[in-house]
Structure 1
Amino acid sequence: MLSQEFREELDNYILLHYRPEGAKERHFNYDEKPPVPAGMALGVVAWLIDSDLYKRFAKLGATFSEKLMWWIKKQGRNPVEVYRTIDISKEHFAKIRNNPQYHPTKGTALAFAIALHLNMEDTQDLLKRAGYALTDSSKSDVIVMCFLEKGIYKIDEINAALYSYDCKPLTNWRGNK
């Protein structure tokens, strides 16, 4: 359970960092259309090879799954210990490990970052590889950021805090653990 002192600290952190209104204005230019290459089939291939897109494909980084396994190996951790820490099944972890294109939920990706005791920068990197980010417009994200900044990597405590603020827990956490 959260101590009263930490609860007050978390309340203050949320007050300072939580921005539910998000960005005030959006900058989209709907008038510009992307250049369309002439002569489709062969033209598309030639355009792709000369384009920035091709260069970006050539520089693709590690996927979430690949980076997760890299972190587990780098830390000398036992994969079983890591997936049990976040309370996912052996089958679910096998899907993540064996499919480099696997797309986890944001909660699962965050839970792995916490189980691996990643700092804020490395957590953001791992989340980005899964297509997510921590943002100050989400109360649950702000709560997790508070724990990460304090170096508190206890999934049950984080889930209890999320639950107490009416946010969805990261894992299949039950309040009666």
Structure 2
Amino acid sequence: MITDELFSKVFESFHFKEIHRNPPKSLLKPPAGLFGSLSGVLAGGHTIYHNIPSSETDMYAELEKELAKREPNFYDYLIYYMDQKHIDNEADLYRKAEISRPVFSKIRSMRETNHRPSKPTVIKLCLALHLNSKETQEMLHTVGYAMSNSSLIDKIIMFFIDHNEFDIFKIDNKIYDKTNQRYLIEKL
């Protein structure tokens, strides 16, 4: 079946399973007594703290410990999937993903520079790697993005991924047909 026919026939009822990461409960509410140490507020809104309780000191020490941990970043996952897909050359990947060398260089050095690639850039790399919907969602989560059924563009992209269609140009053309905007390819 031609992709356009399949898209027209199935898309209206298509929904993908959204993946949501839940933060640890310890991050959702402040520890007891966090605001109990306030002794007053000066004019201009400045707060005076006296005798910070040890529980707050422990909390900040725990925060520093968590921040010092080396978590895998987007580039680490990218290398992992390149290995899984037997892609040895980064240049082959970024060319297939329609990403420029300078943008990929920023991704490579993101741990040092705190660079955050754009959502379309992440999606294009996922498409170039032929990642499934769960893997794509996980890659997006590593840089703070997610796909949602409430976004027409996200829904179109996930539809194509779920139907094993990874052609960036074909997907971008369908996005353009439905939204009158380019999302994955800036210039055609």
- The interval holding the TM-score normalised by the smaller chain is 0.7 to 0.9
Q: Is structure 2 residue 125 aligned with structure 1 residue 124?
A: no
Of 81, 89, 94, 1:71 maps to 81
CA offsets per residue over residues 120-144 of structure 1, 9 Å max, x none?
Answer: 1111110110111111001111111
State the match for 1:15 in structure 2: 12
Report the identity percentage. Answer: 28
Whether the aligned pair in 2 keeps the contact of 1:14 and 1:139 (CA below 8 Å) is no
Report how far residue 6 of structure 1 moved.
2.8
Of 86, 103, 107, 2:97 maps to 86
CA–CA distance in structure 2, aligned partners of residues 87 and 41 of structure 1: 54
Report how far residue 33 of structure 1 moved.
6.7
| CA RMSD of superposed structures (Å) | 3.0
Aligned residues: 157
Deviates more, 1:8-17 or 1:109-118: 8-17
Secondary structure of 1:158 counterpart: helix
Q: Name the CA shift for 1:82/1:43 in 2 (closer, same or farther; >3 Å).
A: same
Q: Which runs of 5+ in 2 are unaligned?
A: 16-27, 38-50
Structure with higher RCO (Cα < 8 A, 6+ apart) = 1
Q: Report the residue type matching 1:67 in the other structure.
A: Y
Q: Which runs of 5+ in 1 are unaligned?
A: 19-31
Greater Cα radius of gyration, structure 1 or 2? 2
Moved over 6 A (4+): none
CA–CA distance in structure 2, aligned partners of residues 71 and 173 of structure 1: 28
State the match for 1:96 in structure 2: 107
Q: Report the residue type matching 2:7 in the other structure.
A: L
Q: Name the CA shift for 1:6/1:75 in 2 (closer, same or farther; >3 Å).
A: closer
Whether the aligned pair in 2 keeps the contact of 1:82 and 1:112 (CA below 8 Å) is yes
Q: Is structure 2 residue 60 aligned with structure 1 residue 48?
A: yes
State the match for 2:176 in structure 1: 163
Q: Report the residue type matching 2:184 in the other structure.
A: L
Whether the aligned pair in 2 keeps the contact of 1:111 and 1:171 (CA below 8 Å) is no
Whether the aligned pair in 1 keeps the contact of 2:110 and 2:116 (CA below 8 Å) is no
TM-score, scaled relative to structure 1: 0.74
CA–CA distance in structure 2, aligned partners of residues 72 and 15 of structure 1: 33
CA–CA distance in structure 2, aligned partners of residues 67 and 9 of structure 1: 32
Whether the aligned pair in 2 keeps the contact of 1:156 and 1:173 (CA below 8 Å) is no
Report how far residue 95 of structure 1 moved.
0.7
Deviates more, 1:63-72 or 1:116-125: 63-72
Whether the aligned pair in 2 keeps the contact of 1:83 and 1:93 (CA below 8 Å) is yes
CA–CA distance in structure 1, aligned partners of residues 10 and 115 of structure 2: 33
